[in-house]
Structure 1
């Protein structure tokens, strides 16, 4: 072995030390930025409705291509609102909504046990052709909404707001009191309103006459009018404590070898048995609509999944997979942004977004409740960050004098979501 050249070795050692020192300094300088780039923002969720709920660098990719489509709907009702009560007022409102870049109208056509359009079905069933409001007489509100809406390129989707619910004092109930279902103690009225002015009862979905009325009303609208779809909501169900009327009990006994229904209305089998009648009715409605107009959308605006079933026996998740629903707008009326976000992130919503458009219903106010514009903007922002298909606002009158604020939400027009595009991505 030869001799070691210590001078040469010392030079090499110094160079090696300096090289490692330089690398260390470089890493020290750049490390904070590297950590920041790899660490999610600490503000991934916040009660501040103006704050983004996701770091921009950590946002998940959209579940489908971003194509600019967005459902921008609004519910038009005759409760605490005058928008439907004059032809001129309706025309003015639709022009305003066009200017604000909305694209979908949901005008109520079934409220309190009456139709808001001239209905031969209603006249034949309980003797009243149209709701007895002076402002609705001698006109066809729905025909006007369709005419004005289509002139402005809106989708017009009549909303059967009351579903299976009706006012206790309606002519429908006076003519057919046996059509209402009851609680176990025999009571049937649900009292609502700050002055307890609304006394509501529920039509019994197990009765063929009730099923026929709902189907015939929907078929009448689909056949008679140039509509883009029909909509049902959370009232197309039945409160779980109901079903103890004589007719339903007799049906249950027939199916269960003479046994009475359980005393506990939350009994799983008893809930499932009653829920199936709603699913059957939904199937009949879907079949009837598609037989007349195959491209007529069937829109549903329920409560979140678990609440819908536990509270109203409404199994809308199954309806989507059975092909009965073309558009879902889940009512998420929450003040707290974390609760709002939690509902939008529910696994069933993420799942069915590959099958049909899924949007969120956002509360813009009630007659006795103001909703701050910051909350509305925060919820719209979050729905977009989670790549939902849009939103619908409840309800028109509560837009108030806030046009400038709503203009900032919809800066440019947008087409409605395309069902076929969503289906192709989800397949």
Structure 2
């Protein structure tokens, strides 16, 4: 259970009305400063009934490692050519998504500790120019919002909350260190004491209250400045892979008093972030939806009678994310579990998990969207051969049929956009287009 008496720091910080603007001085170590956010601009969105009248038909558009966008080679072009190519690529994708009947794009605005908008907290993302902190010459977040809204599509700003970098190579360390003279510089140099190594990545330590406040301030900056339709966190909280354990022993000794186990304390830390981000968003703009896309398994029934009849890696035990509690507490407008298995996968059957999540949201006001594994369609798999049968169409049809027949499932999100253009998914994409664009 969450110990609600341990929330005074958040109350005192009043992160809703402040962001951590970071600065450095040549004669002193860098410090974090708390200064007011710019005045909040309310961005009116449709009322809830109209907003939710159409089922969610979404897609994740990843910018980390330039997986979906921007084009990998665009960073090698002249500034004008680069901007032109990146904008054209994005509008082409939106046109394609619109033609398929997709109505929502989950756009990754914070792939690590860099930003795809002109932030006063994070340096510019090197995904845009090849160099951290380099101004790309335009605002990608504003651009996709303008273009998507013109097409009648919604955009949810997708954040990876804790990731600082995708690797720990010396070249990456040097690049992060070179941001020190910038305004803003990377959190890696401003608060090296917040940084931990998780597997082969640098991440923030979720047990540090100031680090959670800092993440919240980043979300606040976007919600205050942009007419985003929603905010989403992905499933990376304490670990990014089962082997990427995080050494937080010192933080546990400092902040873990009163908890029976480190695992309970970690889940409390994650819950605090979710609650304070939720409250922040609603105070800044109550029309902006807040959601999380966690691993598909909350807990296995073998560990908890309330869990699902599965044998998969569980968010509660692996990532210290009590996602079921977040729904029950009303902190989320929606939850989008990643149910990336077919109906026949014995360890984690699609039908079992979708029904389990449907039962979880049923007594709440949290909407349920299901994350579907488009990336597996057409790929050979010994354990999941159904993705290969008739181009994966029968399996995909069964999943969509269930999503649309269960009254507590409000839509589907595809992972991820680039797979809409792969040869192995052609049959499935044609099926999706026929099914969604005609309704």
TM-score after normalising by structure 2: 0.65
Separation (CA, whole Å) in 1 of partners of 2:268 and 2:358: 22
Could you tell me which residue of structure 2 aligns to residue 153 of structure 1? 152
Root-mean-square deviation over aligned CA pairs: 2.7
What is the rounded CA distance, in whole Å, between the counterparts of 1:290 and 1:380 in structure 2?
31
Matched, 1:318 2:322: no
Kept in 1: contact 2:68–2:417 (CA 8 A)? no
Shift of 1:209: 2.8
**Distance in 1 separating the partners of 2:125 and 2:54:** 36
Answering whether residue 388 of structure 2 is matched by residue 373 of structure 1, we say no
| Partner Cα distance (2:341, 2:402) in 1 | 13
Aligned mates of 1:244, 1:203 — CA distance in 2: 10
1:189 aligns with 2:198: yes
Distance 1:176 1:297, change over 3 A: same
What does residue 373 of structure 2 align with?
363
**Alignment deviations for residues 21-48 of structure 1 (CA, whole Å, 9 cap, x no partner):** xxxxxxxxxxxxxxxxxxxxxxxxxxxx
**Aligned residue number for residue 210 of structure 2:** 209
Aligned partners of 1:101, 1:224: CA distance in 2, in Å? 28
Give 1:180 shift: 2.7
2:247 counterpart of 1:226: no
Contact 1:166 1:203 in 2 (8 A): yes
1:349 aligned residue: 358
In 2, Cα distance between the equivalents of 1:386 and 1:146? 31
Secondary structure in structure 1 of the residue aligned to 2:157: coil
Q: Any residues of structure 2 matched to 1:19-418 within 5 Å, and which?
A: 69-78=54-63, 79=65, 81-85=67-71, 86-122=86-122, 128-131=123-126, 133-134=128-129, 137-160=136-159, 162-167=160-165, 168=168, 169=172, 171=176, 172-181=187-196, 188-190=197-199, 199-238=200-239, 241-242=245-246, 244-252=248-256, 254-255=257-258, 269-303=261-295, 304-306=297-299, 307-337=314-344, 339-346=349-356, 348-354=357-363, 355-365=365-375, 372-374=391-393, 375-387=395-407, 388-400=409-421, 402=426, 403-413=429-439
Q: Which residue of 2 aligns with 1:54?
A: none
Report the Cα offset of residue 366 of structure 1: 6.7
Helix, strand or coil at the partner of 2:205: coil
In structure 2, runs of 5+ residues without a counterpart are 1-51, 72-85, 177-186, 300-313, 381-386
Aligned mates of 1:81, 1:406 — CA distance in 2: 22
* Maintained 8 Å contact 1:163/1:237: no
Residues 337 and 144 of structure 1: CA distance in aligned 2, closer, same or farther (over 3 Å): farther
- CA distance in 2 between counterparts of 1:130 and 1:367 reads 31
In the alignment, the residues of structure 2 paired with residue 82 and residue 300 of structure 1 have an alpha-carbon distance, to the nearest angstrom, of 20
Matches of 2:138 and 2:376 in 1, distance apart? Answer: 28
**CA gap 1:337/1:166 in 2 versus in 1, 3 angstroms:** farther
Cα offset, 1:377, TM superposition? 2.9
Distance in 2 between residues matched to 1:310 and 1:104, nearest whole Å: 31
**Distance change >3 Å, CA 80–CA 373, structure 1 → 2:** farther
Compared CA separation, residues 245 and 147, structure 1 to 2 (3 A): same
Say which SS state the counterpart of residue 261 (structure 2) adopts.
helix
1:19 paired residue number: none
- Any stretches of 5+ residues in structure 1 without a counterpart? 1-66, 123-127, 182-187, 191-198, 257-267, 414-427
Shift of 1:238: 4.6
Aligned 8 A contact 2:370 2:403 in 1: yes
Q: How many residues align?
A: 314
C-alpha separation between the residues in 2 aligned to 1:352 and 1:221? 28
SS at structure 2 position matched to 1:74: strand
In the alignment, the residues of structure 2 paired with residue 234 and residue 335 of structure 1 have an alpha-carbon distance, to the nearest angstrom, of 20
**Distance of 1:409 and 1:119 partners within structure 2:** 39
Give 1:244 shift.
3.1
Query: How far is the alpha carbon of 1:84 from its aligned partner?
Result: 3.8
How far apart, in 1, do the equivalents of 2:378 and 2:191 lie? 33
Do the aligned partners of residues 80 and 342 (structure 1) sit closer, same or farther apart at CA in structure 2, a change above 3 Å counting? farther
Q: Return the offset for 1:310.
A: 0.7
Q: Which protein, 1 or 2, shows the higher relative CO under an 8 Å CA cutoff with sep ≥ 6?
A: 1
d(CA) in 2 for partners of 1:349 and 1:385?
11
